[in-house]
């Protein structure tokens, strides 16, 4: 490849540019980003000396991401949270007007199985005897209800999924959002049997790490990628540059009138659909992130990572969950409230900042008993930030894969949270896999893993 255009400067686009520069050093790379900053949904800000995460705040150890941070020499910036830390051990669900601690081990499940929030958990022992289904796809809610118990789907799984996808488990596809669960049933006839046979790879230096972040916040990762790329002569980063048009040309693909041998699109899904007509317009959700800071320490009544709210609970505030940031980074009491997601699908109007502030303080007062006013309130609204892999997503992607190959002659590839999974680890892994295949001369759309 003589030249490659990368569309989008979030973690997917930056990672793809880095991997491509390493594996194909003679390729001229141009990265286009419409905004003035790089990093996408990863953004760390500072207000009156207090750091806030507006997007993702931690990572779980995963081989590709850990390898990347080592290549970028970021080891000394990493803050590791051990598996024995309260933030790793203590995670809660708001259920029946109280915080309920989730079990973190088999022993804790056995000791606490009578807790109301864990109703139906005894179905774990019966699941291996449930018949295998021949369905092509199924919603997460229906899958968990069928294999286990509807109460587990409503009280536990809906809360956890709300914290990841901010989505509705009655619509999200188990095949696409949790392919491991889907494959366990298909290959082993049982989720439990599959889990028992599965092996997890230990990552050197992170054996006892549950989650990690960076001393100066998550922005550290895209900032170091950007700094590294700007020092590579074959890489040209164009910020504040909107991509208005891409089309097949005689020699490749035109982007804003300039021809490239190949294009890697890391745009959000709605931008993908606008620029690539054969790419489906996926449903998305929008999320309010509210950062609160109190100079007084230890205002939270429990020690842990935070809590999530299941679909079975009355939820007029549209609350997804609350994260106790000061459990990881001490100094005052710092909280992050997440509102919206699929809950906003049924409201007449998205709440404004004043309404969001009022709801946030009411939630903190009612559920955590914190009555005082915070010293700092920071509100950000992430519109269409998380694509939703609804039932049938895999089939749409399979059809789109064929059309992209045909219409763009194998010169267009797609990465990002539209196709690779919505987490940072997913995006880094997807970018690396994509570039490795392109460097080998393989025709790849990036949608292959979706079906």
Largest CA distance in the chain: 67
- pLDDT bucket at 106, cuts 50 / 70 / 90: low
- Residue 134: pLDDT band (50, 70, 90) is very high
Domain with 17 in it? 3-42+63-70+219-282+390-450
154 with 277, same domain: the answer is: no
- 336 shares a domain with 272: no
Tell me which residue of 144, 116, 165, 92 sits closest to 341, measured CA to CA: 165
Query: Is 346 part of a structural domain of the chain?
Result: yes
Is residue 354 one of the residues assigned to a domain? yes
Q: Say if residue 323 is in the same domain as residue 382.
A: yes
The residue whose two tokens read 């009491």 is: 333
Query: How many structural domains is the chain composed of?
Result: 3
Give pLDDT, residue 367: 98
Please check whether residue 58 lies inside any domain of the structure. Answer: no
pLDDT tens digits, residue range 152-170?
999 999 999 999 999 999 9
In terms of domains, do 241 and 156 share one?
no
For residue 153, being part of any structural domain is answered with yes
**Could you tell me the pTM of the whole model?**
0.95
Residues 331 and 420 in one domain: no
- Report if residue 20 sits inside a domain: yes
Say whether pLDDT at 114 is over 80.
no
Tokens of 239: 């910020």
| Burial class (CB within 10 angstroms; exposed 0-12, middle 13-18, buried 19+) of 350 | middle
| Last residue of one domain, picked from the residues 387, 407, 434 | 387
**What angle do the packed helices 63-71 and 11-23 form, to 10 degrees?**
70
pLDDT band at 64 (very low <50, low <70, confident <90, very high): very high
What CATH code is carried by the domain that includes residue 131?
1.10.3110.10
331 vs 51 pLDDT, higher one: 51
Average pLDDT over the chain, rounded to an integer: 95
In terms of domains, do 394 and 372 share one?
no
Residue 396 has pLDDT above 90, yes or no: yes
pLDDT per residue as tens digits for the range 259-309: 999 999 999 999 999 999 999 999 999 999 999 999 999 999 999 999 999
| Under 8 Å between Cβ of 366 and 358 | no
Domain endpoint, select from 354, 387, 420: 387
Same domain (yes/no): 307, 397: no
Q: How many residues does the chain have?
A: 451
CA distance 57 to 45: 12
Whether residues 262 and 300 fall in one domain: no
301 shares a domain with 255:
no
CB burial readout 44-80, b (16+ within 10 A) else e: beeeeebbbbbbbbbbebbbbbbebbeebebeebbee
Q: Determine the Cα–Cα distance for residues 344 and 38; give it in Å rounded to an integer.
A: 28
Residues 168 and 233 in one domain: no
Between CA 438 and CA 20 the distance in angstroms is 9
pLDDT at 122 over 90: no
Q: Which of 37, 36, 17 is nearest to 28 (CA)?
A: 17
On whether residue 75 sits in a domain, the answer given is: no
Please state the rounded mean pLDDT for residues 96-120.
83
Last residue of a domain, one of 136, 165, 197: 197
Q: Report how far residue 237's alpha carbon sits from residue 392's, in angstroms, rounded to the nearest whole number.
A: 36
Q: Which residues of 228-257 are buried (b: 16+ CB within 10 A; e: fewer)?
A: bbeeeebbebeeebebeebeeeeebbbbee
Left if phi > 0, otherwise alpha if psi is -120 to 50, otherwise beta: which for 95?
beta
Cβ 309 vs Cβ 158: under 8 Å: no
Q: Is the pLDDT of residue 104 over 80?
A: no
Euclidean distance between CA atoms 201 and 63, whole angstroms: 8
């Amino acid at each position: 490849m003589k030249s490659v255009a990368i569309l989008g400067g979030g973690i997917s686009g930056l990672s793809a540019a880095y991997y491509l520069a390493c594996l194909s050093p003679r390729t001229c790379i141009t990265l286009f980003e419409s905004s003035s900053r790089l990093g996408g949904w990863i953004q760390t800000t500072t207000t009156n000396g207090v750091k806030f995460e507006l997007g993702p705040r931690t990572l779980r150890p995963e081989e590709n991401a850990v390898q990347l941070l080592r290549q970028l020499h970021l080891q000394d910036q990493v803050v590791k949270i051990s598996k024995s830390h309260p933030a790793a051990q203590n995670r809660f669900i708001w259920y029946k007007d109280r915080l309920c601690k989730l079990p973190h081990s088999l022993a804790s499940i056995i000791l606490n199985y009578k807790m109301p929030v864990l109703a139906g958990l005894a179905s774990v022992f019966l699941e291996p005897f449930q018949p295998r289904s021949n369905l092509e796809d199924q919603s997460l809610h229906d899958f968990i209800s069928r294999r286990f118990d509807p109460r587990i789907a409503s009280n536990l799984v809906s809360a956890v999924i709300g914290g990841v996808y901010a989505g509705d488990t009655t619509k999200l596809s188990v095949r696409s959002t949790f392919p491991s669960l889907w494959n366990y049933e298909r290959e082993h006839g049982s989720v439990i049997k599959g889990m028992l046979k599965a092996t997890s790879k230990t990552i050197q230096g992170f054996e006892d790490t549950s989650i990690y972040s960076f001393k100066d916040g998550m922005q550290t990762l895209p900032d170091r990628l950007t700094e590294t790329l700007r020092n590579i002569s074959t890489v040209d980063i164009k910020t504040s540059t909107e991509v208005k048009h891409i089309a097949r040309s005689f020699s490749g693909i035109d982007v804003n009138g300039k021809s490239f041998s190949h294009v890697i699109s890391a745009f959000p899904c709605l931008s993908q659909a606008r620029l690539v007509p054969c790419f489906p317009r996926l449903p998305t959700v929008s999320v309010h992130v509210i950062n609160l800071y109190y100079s007084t320490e230890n205002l939270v009544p429990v020690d842990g990572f935070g809590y999530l709210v299941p679909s079975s609970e009355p939820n007029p505030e549209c609350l997804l969950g609350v994260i106790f940031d000061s459990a990881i980074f001490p100094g005052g009491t710092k909280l992050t409230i997440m509102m919206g997601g699929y809950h906003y699908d049924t409201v007449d109007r998205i709440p404004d900042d004043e309404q969001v502030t009022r709801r946030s303080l009411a939630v903190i007062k009612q559920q955590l008993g914190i009555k005082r006013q915070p010293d700092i309130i920071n509100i950000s609204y992430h519109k269409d930030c998380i694509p939703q892999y609804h039932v049938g997503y895999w089939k749409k992607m399979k059809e789109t894969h064929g059309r992209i190959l045909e219409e763009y002659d194998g010169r267009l590839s797609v990465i990002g949270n539209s196709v690779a999974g919505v987490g940072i680890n997913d995006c880094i892994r997807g970018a690396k896999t994509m570039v490795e295949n392109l460097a080998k001369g393989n025709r790849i759309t990036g949608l292959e893993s979706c079906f």
